[in-house]
Amino acid sequence: MQHTYLTAFVFVFMSLRATAQDASSVIRAERSFAAHAVQHGVKSAFLAFTDSTAIAMDGGQYENALEQWRQRPESDIQLIWGPQFAGASGDGASGFTTGPYYMKLPGADTLLLAGQYTTFWVRRPSGDWKYLIDFGTRFPKRLYADPSPNPITASLTPDPQATARSAEDAFLQRYQASGKAAYDDVLNEHSWLNLDRHVPVSKPDSFRELIQRMPLAPEFRPVGSFLSAAKDLALVYGDAVYEGRKAHYLRIWGHTPAGWKILVQVMH
């Protein structure tokens, strides 16, 4: 009997370890995407790295991102970015990165604008990484800083009972009942908040402080979601409604030994 318990413990422990996936593959994909933009142009990069099912969110609308990029004109504006925080699912088939970006004209020293991007990736059967959603915010360009060469990474563990919306739906129930206090149970040391017009913040105290400074608490209306096959990483996106005005939001959830936590929240 003791041997049986020990065997079961070792099996569970090894399963959890196996799903604490190295994020280096998704980081390489993001850097390849950024390098392609520098070498071949922004439109070429997005055509090469956008999934055929990718979603573009803008102005309260949801459109196919690849079709959007096919219709956009060529431009010589340079878009530079790099990962600052990343995570990957235990099966190695999905992941995310977030980090700063800036835009400028060729040969210019002055930035046109700066902000924070967030990209959610999937690895296709061919082995190629493609993004499902790429959602950015802006902040004052004078506050731009290059990302560290060694991004922070998140380790995840599986939740066999998870669905694509289980963490989000549980949070929204608490949010409807207690408002911004609902964030208290879903933040950890890696939680990242990208709020449009603000420099991104991480860590629970900074996250809560910026949320509390928002004059309006939006109503969140999920539109789409994704759950990794390892059931440790989830994506939810949708409408953020401020007194009838529709904007967008994105939340990336990661399952940890302490439960589901917000890894990245992006809000317009």
Is 148 found in the same domain as 120? yes
* pLDDT computed for residue 21 by the predictor: 62
For the cut 90, the answer to whether the pLDDT of residue 2 exceeds it is no
Average the pLDDT over 249-262 and give the result.
Answer: 97
Which ranges of the chain does DSSP label H, i.e. alpha helix?
2-18, 24-40, 42-49, 65-71, 166-178, 204-213
Average the pLDDT over 215-227 and give the result.
Answer: 95
Instruction: Choose between 16 and 233: higher pLDDT.
Output: 233
Residue 6 in any domain: the answer is no
Is 28 found in the same domain as 150? yes
Nearest one of 65, 70, 62, 64 to 43, comparing CA atoms: 70
For the cut 90, the answer to whether the pLDDT of residue 59 exceeds it is no
Is 186 found in the same domain as 69? no
Is 231 found in the same domain as 178? yes
Asked which of 119, 154, 189 is the last residue of a domain, the reply is 154
Is 251 found in the same domain as 214? yes
Is 189 found in the same domain as 150? no
CA separation for the pair 241, 172 (Å, rounded)? 14
Average the pLDDT over 213-236 and give the result.
Answer: 96
Q: What are the structure tokens assigned to 148, written together?
A: 């560290």
- Dump pLDDT digits (tens) for 157-198: 999 999 999 999 999 999 999 999 999 999 999 999 999 999
* pLDDT computed for residue 155 by the predictor: 87
Residue 27: φ, ψ to 5°: -65, -45
User: Do the strands 245-256 and 50-58 form a parallel or antiparallel pair, or are they unpaired?
Assistant: unpaired
Asked which of 133, 154, 175 is the last residue of a domain, the reply is 154
Asked which of 154, 181, 205 is the last residue of a domain, the reply is 154
Range(s) of the domain holding residue 211: 166-267
Is 210 found in the same domain as 99? no
Give the sheet arrangement for strand 192-195, strand by strand: 201-202, 192-195, 259-267, 245-256, 233-242, 219-227
Helix (H, G, I), strand (E, B) or coil at 95: strand
Is 127 found in the same domain as 188? no
- Dump pLDDT digits (tens) for 86-138: 999 999 999 999 999 999 999 999 999 999 999 999 999 999 999 999 999 99
* pLDDT computed for residue 215 by the predictor: 87
Question: What's 78's domain CATH number?
Answer: 3.10.450.50
Q: In total, how many domains does the chain have?
A: 2
CA separation for the pair 131, 258 (Å, rounded)? 28
Is 147 found in the same domain as 55? yes
Is 182 found in the same domain as 130? no
Residue 7 in any domain: the answer is no
Instruction: Choose between 131 and 3: higher pLDDT.
Output: 131
Is 181 found in the same domain as 62? no
Average the pLDDT over 34-42 and give the result.
Answer: 98
Is 36 found in the same domain as 131? yes
